[in-house]
A and B are shown apart, each in its own frame.
Chain A
Amino acid sequence: MISFSSVSKRYENGHQALANLSFDVDEGELVFLTGHSGAGKSTLMKLIMLIERASAGQVVIAGRNLNRMRRGQIPYHRRQVGVVFQNHQLLFDRSVYENVALPLNIAGFQSREVGRRVRAALDKVGLLDREKANPITLSGGEQQRVGIARAVVNKPPLLLADEPTGNLDPELSAEIMNLFRRFNSFGVTVMIASHDIALIRSLNHRVISLAKGQLAHDGLLPQEQGG
């Protein structure tokens, strides 16, 4: 599903964010992405989203080589990748329902189908009763769940999450992570960037660690060791 081979990314200001990075994530996997801030987690996700392009190497997502993707195709690529942001990126001038419906409206679903899918997505994150609320009236955890509902409403085969629990307390964080694991159990490939090592260790999934833009660790985290 995700394939990086010898990927480097150097920004225009000379900062080398990723250096010769190679890894693969199969369909249906759940992978955590860790590393200190500045280690290249965000850049890696931006490359998958085509917000940035690799300076060298190949990024292939679901068989599509992103290096060769033209600008006009980018929107259609992004519809195949659900993204959850740390700061939610919700619009406060419209209801929860309308926020979640946005990707469907963009992709051109008919309104009846939109309603069905939005309610299904809100049901999965446990916010079915809040569809008419304005997201600003919701708690941080609820806002994040709205963001997740929006990311999965289009049933993308790949789900990215950038520090989805960054601002949440441990209990809420565990809840959010369980949501992601449920989506993963339906076959969705999930990649979660997080620096919450304790939580990641407790979930026991594959972990890709970056350090200074290079692969520092790939595999399960050894248990009962300091992170």
Chain B
Amino acid sequence: MARSDSSGKGAVHSKTSLTDKVRSYWLHHRSSLLGSLMRLLSTPGQTLMTTLVVAIALALPATLLVSLSNIQQLGDSWDASPKVSVYLNLRARDAAIEQLLERLQKLPEVADVQYLSSEQVLADFQRLSGFGEALEALEDNPLPATLIITPGLAAVEPEALKRLGDKIAGEAIVDEVSLDMEWVRRLRELMVLGKKIVAALAALLALGVLLAIGNTIRLAIENRRDEIIIAKLVGGTNGFVRRPFIYIGGWYGLMGGALASLLVAAGFWIIQDTVARLALLYQSDFQLDTLGIGGTLKLIGLGTLLGWLGAWLAVGRHLAQIEPR
């Protein structure tokens, strides 16, 4: 033979230098990336099915998370200005009410006091409750005059607010004091619970995505068994054989994530009008939170990561079993 000094390990075809090898490595990554996409697009039905499975599994926890963040936003907007409602005695005289107002406004814990006469309260109630006609039938106004107190910085903490409430409740013409804090606290606790449930659900569904993609990849490997064996016979490394399948998983995850974002966006678009009407009824300037660009990117990124991981696990399990015999 011409190359008689070929006793070294790999010196016989030294035509590929290191830079060439690095170059070809990236070239193969690129061809795997595009090749696997072409392969997926050539079987649109099956690709769509797997993508849908991934999309639904991702869209469900994403929807719940966005909903939770909306509820939290709702709670926070109340939380930012907790109110104390003070219901005055029906027989309280105007002068006494005037004095109480002045005294309250001087308290350091009080930022603002709004006085609603019993007529105003009745008018608001008629307008918002829909009991208008029934109330008109009453001879006397059953509703008390009300003070809406916005606490100052000194009474932001629930305990301080409670003390303020107790102090006001001691006033002679005050029938009842109601703190708007309680339900905010309950909501907070419920939110913590909700988030835990969503997290558990998300973990389960992520596992579902891994298994679905893993199974799809397993079938793809099975279908291309001959190709894998021949590639290994002519010197294909495990990495070379593995790469296209990993990319297939990545594509499934990417497309599933994108589709999930669309599903979530479509869902919130559908309920948007209803929420806006509801917010109007509650006289709120509440804005529905959606996924947004950041959330969409996160969802797609997470999908891609799960797809890649699922493929990686499946390939590791099944490719090792395919060896030339």
A binds B: yes
In the docked arrangement, what's the CA distance between A110 and B21, Å?
Answer: 9
B235–A103 CB distance below 8 A: yes
Contact with A along B230-254 (1 / 0, CB 8 A): 1111111110100000000000000
In the docked arrangement, what's the CA distance between A80 and B9, Å?
Answer: 10
B23 at the A interface (CB under 8 A): yes
B10 at the A interface (CB under 8 A): yes
A89–B230 CB distance below 8 A: yes
A108 at the B interface (CB under 8 A): yes
B24–A108 CB distance below 8 A: yes
Per the CB 8 Å criterion, the residue count for chain B at the interface is 36
Contact with B along A84-128 (1 / 0, CB 8 A): 000001010100000000110111111000000000000000000
CB-defined contacts of A77 to chain B, threshold 8 Å: 235
Which single residue of chain A is at the shortest CB-CB distance from B31? A105
B1–A78 CB distance below 8 A: no
User: B1, B9, B226, B323 — which one has the most chain A CB atoms within 10 A of its CB?
Assistant: B1
Contact of B1 among A64, A106, A189 (CB under 8 A): A189
Give the shortest distance, in Å, between A186 (CB) and chain B (any CB): 9
In the docked arrangement, what's the CA distance between A49 and B234, Å?
Answer: 10
In the docked arrangement, what's the CA distance between A51 and B323, Å?
Answer: 8
Contact of B233 among A28, A49, A156 (CB under 8 A): A49
Which single residue of chain B is at the shortest CB-CB distance from A187? B1
In the docked arrangement, what's the CA distance between A72 and B239, Å?
Answer: 10
CB-defined contacts of A108 to chain B, threshold 8 Å: 16, 20-21, 23-25, 27-28
A157 at the B interface (CB under 8 A): yes
CB-defined contacts of B27 to chain A, threshold 8 Å: 108, 110
Contact of A102 among B10, B234, B237 (CB under 8 A): B234
A110–B234 CB distance below 8 A: no
| In the complex, chain A residues 30-70 whose Cβ is within 8 Å of any chain B Cβ | 49, 51, 62-64
B7–A62 CB distance below 8 A: yes
B106 at the A interface (CB under 8 A): no
Interface residues of A (CB under 8 A from B): 1, 27-28, 49, 51, 62-64, 72-73, 75-80, 83, 89, 91, 93, 102-103, 105-110, 150, 154-157, 187-189
Other A-B pairs, 14, CB within 8 Å; known A83-B233, A106-B235, A107-B16: A51-B323, A62-B6, A73-B9, A76-B10, A80-B10, A83-B234, A91-B227, A106-B231, A108-B16, A109-B15, A110-B24, A154-B234, A154-B235, A157-B3
Can you spell out 22 A-B residue pairs with CB atoms less than 8 angstroms apart?
A27-B1, A51-B233, A51-B323, A63-B6, A63-B7, A64-B9, A72-B237, A75-B237, A78-B233, A78-B234, A80-B12, A80-B13, A91-B227, A106-B231, A106-B240, A107-B24, A108-B21, A108-B27, A109-B20, A154-B235, A157-B3, A188-B1
